[in-house]
Amino acid sequence: MIDIRKAIEIGRVNLLRQVRDRSDLFFVFVLPTIIIVALGLQFGGMTLVRVGIVAPTGDAAATALVAQIKGDSKTLDLRTVATVDELRSLVERGRLEAGVVIPNGFGAALSGTGTVSVTYLATTGALTSGVRAPIEAAVARLAAITTAARIASGATGTDAAAARPLAENLYDTVPGITIDAKTVGEAGMFAGFSGFTFGASTQLVLFMFLTSMTAAGRLVWSRKIGVSRRMVSTPTSVATIVAGEALGRFGVAMLQAGYIIAVSSLVFGVSWGDPLAAGALIALFGVVAAGVALLVGALARTPDQASSMGVFVGLAMGALGGSMIPFQVMPPLMQNIARLLPQSWTLLGIQTLIRDGGGIASVAPNLAVLAVWAVGVMALASWRFRKAITG
């Protein structure tokens, strides 16, 4: 029989001791914040692409094309460059991701009959090839308007310069051909995330586990100094002691989760999706983390050994489970390995809630896997810990 009040008391004291340990406070509160900020700044900055523009001054058509390229994009940082040579140099040295050269007399050439060329400069790479699309789209729009004005001028004998405003006005009203693009399969690595969201979700999973592991060392210490055996000598069942110690580790994991969620929401504006579903995912993962901490605390012979084991297990499972390297960029074999770990199910569940919305039903498979993990690891840990304190 488990005495709930005594189990809560054991858990409370565990949590109190964790909070009092100043060295742990750095790992629980300071380090996760630093990493979330660092990841947020890194991933947030990566999507801003610097594009140099060489364009004739005072040319309305050139100015319009530049405005069209910029559009409402938040990812393009357009910078005016004086000469083509300077632009080429900046792109080659990596100071700019790409460059666009609009030739002199651009506006007049559009009203003429000859071919007009806009030059795109970039190094090879996924990022720069991605930049080309909005530039080509802007040029294609201008080309369509120019072509229509030239055809109208040729057909009606009107001046091309006069036909151009008409073509521009009608462009958006004439039905054309559109591309209906849809994304299928796994969402992209950062799709639907701000930089802080991605960092907060991965670090939540990583630090919940790691912080629980630090509590494993404290558990070994309690065994070493005889406090655990002293608890057994009181009128408290071993089941209650095991439950209390597990509750303590669970409390530590949830304290860590609560802090990361609070800071990321209040300071960085991260939205964690449906509270009930996110709470269920995090709570179940907390039970898993508490179970592993209890198991490490039962198996290790010294607090140092528990710390080493805990850090190794925490970092290894975190890395394999997607807390360091995004699941989406892992090769198939590593994705299969990740799918065996509770970290990946938690992380993918949370990311689903953040990106796609939805509630409990949308993460039901994740919750089911985590529940199996929680029951399994807690049963194993309870058995080992019971042996450790009564053996």
Partner 1 sequence: MTGEPQAPVVLSVRGLRKRYGDLEAVKDVSFDIREGETYGLLGPNGAGKSTTISIVCGLLRRDAGEVTVDGKPIDTGAVAAKAGIGVVPQDLAIYPDLSARENLTFFGRLYGLGGARLKSRIDTCLELVGLADRANERTDHFSGGMQRRLNIAIGMLHEPRLLLLDEPTVGVDPQSRNAILESIAALGREGMAVLYTTHYMEEAERLCDRVGIIDAGEIRAEGTRRELVALVGQRDEVRLTATGDLGAATKAVGALPGVGGAVVRDGVLELVVDDARGMLPRLLDAVDKAGATVRGVDVVQPDLEAVFLHLTGRALRDAS
* CA 190-288-323 angle, 5° bins: 25
H/E element, 380: helix 364-390
> What's the start-to-end Cα distance of the chain, in Å?
20
3-state secondary structure of 351: helix
CB 228 within 8 A of CB 378: no
Could you list the beta-strand ranges (E) of 73-210: 76-80, 98-101, 119-122
CB of 287 to partner 1, least distance (A): 24
Binding segment for partner 1 among 17-25, 279-287, 314-322, 347-355 (CB under 8 A)?
Answer: 17-25
Q: What is the distance between the alpha carbons of residues 6 and 68, in angstroms, rounded to a whole number?
A: 69
CB 102 within 8 A of CB 55: yes
Whose Cβ is closer to partner 1: residue 147's or residue 390's?
390
Residue 175: phi and psi, rounded to 5, are -60, 135
Interface with partner 1 (CB under 8 A), residue from 48, 191, 225, 324: 225
Question: CB neighbours (10 Å) of residue 60?
Answer: 9
Binding segment for partner 1 among 15-23, 117-125, 257-265, 303-311 (CB under 8 A)?
Answer: 15-23
Indicate whether 214 belongs to the interface with partner 1 (CB under 8 A): no
Binding segment for partner 1 among 5-13, 70-78, 84-92, 348-356 (CB under 8 A)?
Answer: 5-13
Indicate whether 16 belongs to the interface with partner 1 (CB under 8 A): yes
Q: What is the distance between the alpha carbons of residues 376 and 30, in angstroms, rounded to a whole number?
A: 32
CB of 232 to partner 1, least distance (A): 6
- Determine the size of the site formed for partner 1 (CB under 8 A): 23
* CA 338-294-226 angle, 5° bins: 160
Whose Cβ is closer to partner 1: residue 248's or residue 342's?
248
Q: What is the distance between the alpha carbons of residues 293 and 310, in angstroms, rounded to a whole number?
A: 7
35: Cβ contacts below 8 Å, ≥ 6 apart: 199, 203
Number of Cα atoms under 13 Å in the Cβ half of residue 115: 3
CB of 241 to partner 1, least distance (A): 9
Indicate whether 383 belongs to the interface with partner 1 (CB under 8 A): no
Whose Cβ is closer to partner 1: residue 28's or residue 338's?
28
CB of 310 to partner 1, least distance (A): 19
Indicate whether 23 belongs to the interface with partner 1 (CB under 8 A): no
Binding segment for partner 1 among 226-234, 258-266, 352-360, 369-377 (CB under 8 A)?
Answer: 226-234
Q: What is the distance between the alpha carbons of residues 209 and 290, in angstroms, rounded to a whole number?
A: 8
What residues between 153 and 212 interact with partner 1 by CB under 8 A? none
What residues between 229 and 268 interact with partner 1 by CB under 8 A? 229-237
Binding segment for partner 1 among 13-21, 93-101, 250-258, 309-317 (CB under 8 A)?
Answer: 13-21
DSSP label at 234? S
Interface with partner 1 (CB under 8 A), residue from 227, 276, 324, 329: 227
CB of 252 to partner 1, least distance (A): 14
Indicate whether 386 belongs to the interface with partner 1 (CB under 8 A): no
| Residues in contact with partner 1 by the rule CB under 8 A | 5-6, 9-10, 13, 16-17, 20-21, 222, 225-227, 229-237, 390
